[in-house]
Amino acid sequence: MALLWRFSLLYANTWLCYIYANIETPTGESNNRGIMKVLKFGGSSVADSEKIKKVVDIVTLSTENKFVILSAMKGITNALIASAKKAEVGDAVYKELAGEVRERTLATLGELVKSEPLLAETQRSVEAMLNEYHDILHGVELIRECSLRSMDLIMSFGERLNCTVAAAYMNEAGHKAEFIDAREIIRTDSSFGKGSVEFDITYELIEKRVKSMEGVGIITGFIANSDEGYTTTLGRNGSDYTASIIAAAVDADCCEIWTDVDGVLTADPRVVSTAKVIDRLSIEEAMELSYFGAEVIHPSTLIPTVEKDIPVIIRNTMNLDAPGTVIADEKTNRDTSITGIASIDNVALINVIGNGMVGMPGAASRIFCSLADGDINIIMISQASSEHSICMVCRQEEAGRARACLEKDLADAIAAKSIQKIEVREDLELIAVIGENMKGQVGLSGRLFSSLGKKDVNILAIAQGSTEKNISLVIEKAQRETALNAIHETFLG
Ligand code: ASP
């Protein structure tokens, strides 16, 4: 039975990639190098030695050429950040936190690797890294300062330690694997905390490095190097992005993101119990859904793979029977009129109201510039053609700052009474109904709004882009459950 299951999984995997390999590279050249896969496993998939064993099982199930991107073990990046913050204020608790990182790493190594000289060799490299981490924290404690640059270096230990241990285990289990520190192959500018990738040089470095790779490459997610040789990171949860960059660089046939959910769901399952996994998503739909709160994948992650036409597959490490969600640039044959419903809690509505804005060019520009200068991210915009008010939605925690920026920057218009009021309404929910099929569908918004009307849900603002693939609306947070279930039942029930 187990064998049968393994075989069917191997078959399904190979088949999926085969379809996408399409015997042609995105540039149209004949592809005779065999199937090439990039697999990325997030922190929860590598949380302990048992999970790492499972990851290696998944990786070694099939025989394609592979690149494996790993995150730090679950909780380690947070522990590294916490230790740095404690060291910065001279709190000796940092030593305990660093001790926990050390213990967890060495215990995992001890559980996974038993044979010599592999164990001693790996222990040596792990110890060297842990000592360096400790020294850096001591430096931070002495100078009472942890810059973004130092923080990136400190965070980098999570992925470096985990990949060193995992690569050793893979070799111990009889599968040739090589640890690759992504700082060798991914270049960014010096924006510490979230480096901006320099693609040309990165692709060149990856191509060169891959040529000398032996076996499966176990590559650190999240981290990179700046032009000046400093460690940088790609932003929190940046390992998906690493996977996407590597996949694009090697012209992979598919990029699998292994996580702890079955795929992208039609709605938030904590609120809509009937939410289902979406089997296929177009890139645009995936971007819309992930932007609007389906936290499975971050939209920017997809950019390198989109450019190279590489499908991304979301899979669940804990449930290998689930086929996952395939995100690819192709028309999906869907029998539902919408694809999914995304939602964001705790948003605020900012309403700028003023008779003086009617027919006044530049009013919107002043409002948006003011919010941009205040680093406020606007999630939705709506303006009626009367031009009497402009309404914007942002995260609740930014609302106070947004109001202050507007009051400061529009003070002259407020004094001249061309703007009468700046209203901020909190505790709201933004819901976005998304789908390729929505385009040109007469009556869809009628059905949407009457499904909400029937349940007494009051709508505070609405926006629809001209692509017709997204209708966004704002309601009171208290009506969230009713609204999401009503929409789901109407279109996807
Ligand atoms: N370990 C990093 C983080 O927790 C990056 C990642 O896991 O993707 O943000």
H-assigned helices in 144-259: 148-172, 199-211, 239-249
Q: Does residue 92 form part of some domain?
A: yes
Q: Does residue 71 form part of some domain?
A: yes
Contacts of 239 (CB under 8 A, 6+ apart): 40, 42, 69, 70, 71, 159, 221, 222
Provide the CATH number for the domain around residue 171.
Answer: 3.40.1160.10
What is the C-alpha separation between 471 and 469, in angstroms, rounded?
7
Q: Does residue 313 form part of some domain?
A: no
Clarify whether residues 50 and 144 are in a common domain. yes
Domain count, the chain: 3
Reported in sequence order, the residue ranges of 42-123 that DSSP labels E, i.e. its strands, are 65-70
Clarify whether residues 253 and 388 are in a common domain. no
> Hey, which residues does 394 pair with through a beta bridge?
348
Q: Does residue 273 form part of some domain?
A: no
Clarify whether residues 29 and 165 are in a common domain. no
Last residue of a domain, one of 201, 228, 260: 260
The reported pTM is 0.82
Q: Does residue 318 form part of some domain?
A: no
Q: What is the pLDDT of residues 304-328, one digit of tens each?
A: 999 999 999 999 999 999 999 999 8
Q: What is the pLDDT of residues 395-438, one digit of tens each?
A: 999 999 999 999 999 898 888 888 889 999 999 999 999 998 88
What is the C-alpha separation between 292 and 1, in angstroms, rounded?
41
Q: What is the pLDDT of residues 324-356, one digit of tens each?
A: 999 988 776 778 889 999 898 899 999 999 887
Residues 455 and 441 sit within 8 Å (Cβ to Cβ): no
Q: Does residue 277 form part of some domain?
A: no
> Hey, which residues does 231 pair with through a beta bridge?
225
Last residue of a domain, one of 245, 260, 275: 260
What is the C-alpha separation between 114 and 405, in angstroms, rounded?
60
Q: Using a 6 Å cutoff on CB, does residue 222 contact ligand 1?
A: yes
- Token pair, residue 466, equals 């001209």
Q: Predicted confidence band at 33 (pLDDT cuts at 50, 70, 90)?
A: low
Q: What is the pLDDT of residues 256-265, one digit of tens each?
A: 999 888 888 8
Q: Does residue 254 form part of some domain?
A: yes
C-alpha 67 to ligand 1 mean position (Å) = 18
Q: Predicted confidence band at 296 (pLDDT cuts at 50, 70, 90)?
A: low
Q: Using a 6 Å cutoff on CB, does residue 72 contact ligand 1?
A: yes
Residues 294 and 279 sit within 8 Å (Cβ to Cβ): no
Q: What is the pLDDT of residues 90-99, one digit of tens each?
A: 999 999 999 9
SS3 433: strand
Residues 316 and 324 sit within 8 Å (Cβ to Cβ): yes
**Which atom of ligand 1 is nearest the CA belonging to 43?**
7
What is the residue range of 4's domain? 1-34
**Which atom of ligand 1 is nearest the CA belonging to 234?**
5
**Which atom of ligand 1 is nearest the CA belonging to 222?**
5
- Estimate to the nearest angstrom the gap between the alpha carbon of 33 and the chain centroid: 30
SS3 175: coil
C-alpha 327 to ligand 1 mean position (Å) = 22
Give me the pLDDT at residue 341, please: 93
Among 165, 213, 181, 180, CA closest to 53: 165
